[in-house]
């Protein structure tokens, strides 16, 4: 396992592994050095063996069963806390300053609390453990053990400072979790690009995304990865997004879900089917994330996440924010592009009317003049040459217009009509056989296109 892969493991797995490592290390220290346990050595060994059995049993649960691991969270924390206080009771004395497992156990408990619960719950756990530690010291003192109250107070202060630093660090880390999301790749189909970015960020094997715009009752569906390539429009009578749709980890076969509430609490629910799109696609296990945007609403479902746990909620919050913003921006850009196309159509219609349509009208007029000359048996060739030159000039003008449109040089906005007036004057003079001259040194005249 690479270094990056190791430190990217889910918190539930790391907690189970560290718990087992602490239990085994403490057991070995007591076996190798019986003086480690300053009192009731046999009882300490028995309790440690029981704690090791408990730690071993929690490893496969943490690795495979995220719902059970979450439900057992408060119970396992209480057992870990009691193990911490028991270790302090069996090992604390004036001669075991450096050998006591105090610091390792307390750090483990605080990190477990910060990963599992909110900062308020972590603070409450820190207060209870500190009071329990002080109570253990008072009990030992009542039993006649020589307790150094200076060191007891010193360690209590250390516990308070360490708790404060851990709570601050976790709050800061949660505020910067959005940096984990990958940039959404802009594609012709924004839903495919958003889904591809989400699958890559969450390390899923497949996923599905649906979106329903505010102005359209239908729902657009896309799937990628292990769910296959699927692109379709679902009519409203076949599928409709539920009104309430919190972030959810789901196990459809077991009918179990973990939901993240509006106040960031995580609750476990039994006998509950997955929401919306996950149930529509009959997915067995995965995470469902709501997408609430300004231009519509949708749902993202990801499956095949290795070691899925409640950690997905933090990364999922960043994914929800990033993808919703990307879809909204794409919808706004589409509206803007549609408006620009309409303006371009208007400008193109005016150009065709002012040039091609007028030239054709002039050609009809000159054909009538040419017919009169033929009837009078006058030479029509000069008039034919003049008409040919005019039509050729108009052909050049139309080709120039097409080339400008192709190269993107003609865009909605402002345009200089002084150049158009010069070419128009020459064309009118030749077409209508009149004298038309623009003013000399005409400055640029910028008007809306």
> Per residue in 255-266, pLDDT tens?
999 998 887 788
Digit-coded pLDDT (tens) for 181-211 = 444 444 568 888 889 889 988 889 999 999 9
Task: Report the sign of the C-alpha dihedral through residues 4, 9, 11, 16, in that order.
Answer: negative
How many angstroms from the chain centroid is the CA of residue 195?
10
Q: Which of 108-112, 167-171, 295-299, 361-365 has the lowest mean pLDDT?
A: 167-171
Q: Where are the domains of the chain?
A: 3-175, 182-334, 335-448
Helix count (H) and strand count (E) of the chain?
14, 10
* Model pLDDT, residue 7: 42
* Model pLDDT, residue 392: 78
Contact 366, 387 (CB under 8 A): yes
- Residue located via tokens 């080709």: 399
CA 397 vs CA 359, 383, 389, 400: distances in Å? 11, 21, 12, 5
Q: How far apart are CA 272 and CA 285, in angstroms?
A: 13
Contact 13, 307 (CB under 8 A): yes
**Sequential DSSP letters for 318-363:** HHHHHHHHHHHHHHHHHHHHHHHHHHHHHHHHHHHIIIIIHHHHHH
Nearest to 295 by CA among 212, 239, 190: 212
* Model pLDDT, residue 222: 93
Between 284 and 104, whose confidence is greater? 284
Is domain 182-334 annotated with CATH 2.40.50.140? no
Q: How far apart are CA 135 and CA 147, in angstroms?
A: 12
Q: How far apart are CA 10 and CA 363, in angstroms?
A: 79
Residues 6 or more apart whose Cβ sits within 8 Å of residue 136: 85, 88, 89, 92
Contact 201, 216 (CB under 8 A): no
Residues 6 or more apart whose Cβ sits within 8 Å of residue 367: 387
214 token code pair: 């505010």
Between 64 and 442, whose confidence is greater? 64
Residues 6 or more apart whose Cβ sits within 8 Å of residue 328: 293, 294, 295
How many Å from the N-terminal Cα to the C-terminal Cα in the chain?
A: 62
What integer best gives the mean pLDDT of the chain?
76
* Model pLDDT, residue 221: 93
* Model pLDDT, residue 5: 46
Quick one: pLDDT band at residue 2, thresholds 50, 70, 90? very low
* Model pLDDT, residue 249: 93
126 token code pair: 């820190």
Give the DSSP H or E segment for 193: helix 190-202
In the predicted structure, residue 55 carries a pLDDT above the cut 50: yes
Q: How far apart are CA 231 and CA 223, in angstroms?
A: 7
Quick one: pLDDT band at residue 178, thresholds 50, 70, 90? very low
Contact 12, 310 (CB under 8 A): yes
Q: Which of 69-78, 112-121, 320-329 has the lowest mean pLDDT?
A: 112-121
Quick one: pLDDT band at residue 303, thresholds 50, 70, 90? very high
Q: What is the dihedral of CA 21, 26, 29, 33, to 10 degrees?
A: -170
In the predicted structure, residue 387 carries a pLDDT above the cut 80: no
Contacts 24+ apart (CB under 8 A), 109-116: 109/77, 109/80, 109/81, 109/84, 110/162, 110/163, 110/166, 111/15, 111/166, 112/15, 112/77, 112/80, 113/77, 114/166, 114/167, 114/169, 114/170, 115/11, 115/15, 115/170, 116/11, 116/73, 116/77, 116/310
In the predicted structure, residue 235 carries a pLDDT above the cut 60: yes
Q: Give the single-character DSSP code of 192.
A: H
303 token code pair: 């499956």
Between 1 and 330, whose confidence is greater? 330
């Amino acid at each position: 396992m690479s270094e990056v892969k190791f430190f990217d493991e889910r918190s539930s797995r790391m907690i189970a592994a560290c718990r087992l490592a602490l239990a085994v290390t403490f057991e070995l220290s007591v076996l190798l050095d019986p003086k480690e346990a300053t009192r009731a050595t046999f009882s300490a060994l028995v309790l440690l063996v029981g704690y090791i059995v408990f730690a071993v049993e929690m490893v496969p649960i943490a690795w495979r069963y995220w719902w059970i691991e979450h439900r057992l969270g408060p119970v396992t924390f209480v057992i870990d806390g009691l193990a911490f206080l028991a270790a302090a009771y069996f090992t604390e004395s004036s001669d075991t300053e450096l050998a006591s497992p105090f610091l390792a156990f307390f750090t483990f408990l605080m990190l477990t609390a910060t990963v599992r619960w909110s900062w308020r719950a972590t603070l409450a756990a820190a207060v209870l453990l500190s009071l329990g530690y002080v109570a253990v010291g008072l009990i030992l003192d009542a039993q006649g053990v020589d307790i150094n109250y200076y060191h007891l107070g010193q360690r209590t202060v250390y516990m308070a400072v360490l708790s404060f630093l851990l709570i601050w660090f976790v709050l800061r880390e949660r505020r910067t979790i959005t940096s984990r999301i990958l940039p959404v790749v802009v594609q012709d189909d924004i839903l495919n690009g958003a889904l591809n970015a989400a699958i890559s960020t969450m390390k899923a094997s497949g996923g599905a995304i649906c979106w329903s715009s505010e102005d359209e009752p239908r729902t657009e569906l896309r799937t990628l990865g292990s769910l296959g390539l699927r692109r379709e429009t679902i009519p409203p009578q076949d599928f409709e997004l539920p009104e309430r749709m919190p972030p959810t980890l789901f196990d459809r076969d077991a009918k179990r879900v973990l939901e993240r509430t509006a106040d960031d609490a995580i609750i476990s629910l039994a006998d509950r089917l997955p929401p919306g799109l996950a149930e529509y696609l009959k997915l067995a296990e995965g995470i469902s994330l709501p997408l609430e945007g300004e231009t519509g609403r949708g749902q993202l479902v990801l499956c095949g996440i290795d070691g899925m746990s409640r950690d997905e909620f933090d990364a999922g919050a960043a994914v929800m924010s990033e993808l919703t913003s990307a879809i909204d921006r794409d919808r706004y850009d589409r509206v803007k592009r549609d408006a620009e196309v309409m303006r371009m159509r208007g400008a193109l219609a005016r150009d065709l009317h002012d040039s091609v349509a007028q030239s054709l009208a002039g050609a009809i007029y000159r054909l009538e003049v040419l017919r009169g000359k033929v009837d009078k048996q006058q030479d029509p060739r000069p008039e034919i040459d003049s008409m040919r030159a005019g039509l050729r000039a108009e052909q050049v003008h139309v080709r120039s217009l097409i080339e400008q449109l192709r190269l993107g040089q003609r865009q909605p906005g402002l345009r200089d009509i002084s150049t158009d007036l010069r070419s128009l004057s020459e064309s009118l003079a030749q077409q209508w056989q009149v004298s038309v001259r623009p003013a000399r040194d005409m400055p640029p005249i910028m008007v809306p296109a």
